[in-house]
């Protein structure tokens, strides 16, 4: 039985992934900051008859990661799969950024990944096998309006993943990047606000229009988990897997968009013009749903 650890496994994509892996026959370590938040994960795995070990792990704490690695090693040795999923969102335009809060985003979304890789990679490297899955975002491929800190953390994760993939290739270890678009998880309602007062109201409002459309699309975390599981078993051993609402459109669209057109998106005189320009660039209708 292969052994997998999923960070941020108490909710959203992390929980769906832990459940999917357990159902597929993996021995799963469901890592979370507080075990008190793991009831739904435990129940989800129990219903499917899988093997789950809830484990306390705060990726922003080096000591916590070290303790978790020791627990995993004591329960059977090295991992076969590490899923770096734990992440936090943050809305801000550059002028509005609270630097202290922004540092917390990077502690989880970027440094947390490095801490976990440093803790669990050696066992994979020594056995010359293993897979590291980093949950990025389409915001790691496109500068998400009104989300400069979150998007930057995911851009950094994309770079980390490209570097890591080359570094560990000689040791038989594979790196996978999952890039979800908008997925209906608990992180969305927690991240609807933005700094006030601000002169960037247009940017924040247009950002929320985008997410409102994504919420209406109602892509569930289980769909992302299914893509992740398929990636682990992909005989082609791909690197990037884009999924969920807006994922393929944004990643492919931005690669074809010249910089002048991208910048001009921000200079649209009103929301209607912005929506038209966005749809022309990416093929996505982000006008607010009629019901709100």
Positions marked active-site: 150
Burial class of residue 246, CB neighbours in 10 A (0-12, 13-18, 19+): buried
Tokens of 12: 């959203």
Nearest 5 degrees, angle CA 90-CA 228-CA 73?
Answer: 90
- Is the peptide bond prior to 156 cis by the omega test (within 30 degrees of 0)? no
Backbone angles phi, psi at 241, to 5 degrees: -130, 110
Largest CA distance in the chain: 60
- Beta strand extents in 26-104 (DSSP E only): 27-32, 51-56, 81-84
Who's near 128: CB < 8 A, 6+ residues apart?
A: 171, 172, 173
What are the residues facing 287 on neighbouring strands? none
For the CA atoms of 45, 79, 244, 12, the dihedral, rounded to the nearest 10 degrees, stands at 40
CA separation for the pair 30, 133 (Å, rounded): 15
Other CB atoms within 10 Å distance of the CB of residue 235:
5
Q: Could you report how far apart the first and last alpha carbons of the chain are, in Å?
A: 47
Helical (H) or strand (E) element with 133 = strand 130-135
């Amino acid at each position: 039985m292969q052994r997998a650890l999923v960070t941020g496994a108490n909710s959203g994509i992390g929980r769906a992934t832990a459940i999917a892996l357990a159902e597929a026959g993996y021995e799963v370590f469901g890592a979370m900051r507080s075990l008190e938040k793991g009831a739904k994960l435990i129940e989800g795995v129990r219903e499917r008859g899988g093997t789950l070990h809830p484990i306390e792990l705060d990726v922003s704490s080096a000591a916590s990661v070290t303790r978790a690695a020791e627990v995993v090693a004591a329960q059977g040795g090295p991992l076969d799969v590490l899923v770096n999923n734990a992440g936090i969102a943050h809305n801000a335009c550059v002028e509005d950024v609270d630097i202290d809060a922004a540092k917390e985003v990077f502690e989880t979304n970027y440094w947390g990944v490095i801490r976990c890789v440093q803790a669990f990679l050696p066992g994979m490297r020594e056995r010359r096998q293993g897979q590291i899955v980093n949950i990025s975002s389409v915001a790691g491929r496109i500068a998400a309006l009104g989300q400069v800190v979150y998007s930057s953390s995911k851009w950094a994760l994309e770079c980390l993943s490209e570097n890591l993939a080359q570094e560990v290739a000689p040791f038989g270890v594979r790196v996978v990047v999952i890039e979800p678009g908008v997925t209906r998880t608990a992180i969305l309602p927690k991240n609807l606000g933005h700094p006030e007062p601000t002169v960037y109201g247009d940017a924040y409002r247009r950002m929320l229009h985008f997410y409102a459309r994504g919420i209406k699309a109602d892509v569930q975390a289980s769909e992302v988990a299914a893509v992740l599981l398929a990636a682990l078993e992909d005989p082609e051993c791909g690197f990037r897997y884009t999924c969920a609402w807006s994922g393929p459109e944004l990643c492919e669209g931005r690669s074809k968009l010249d910089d002048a057109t991208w910048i001009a998106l921000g200079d649209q005189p009103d929301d209607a013009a912005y929506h038209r320009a966005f749809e022309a660039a990416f093929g996505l209708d982000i006008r607010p749903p009629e019901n709100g």
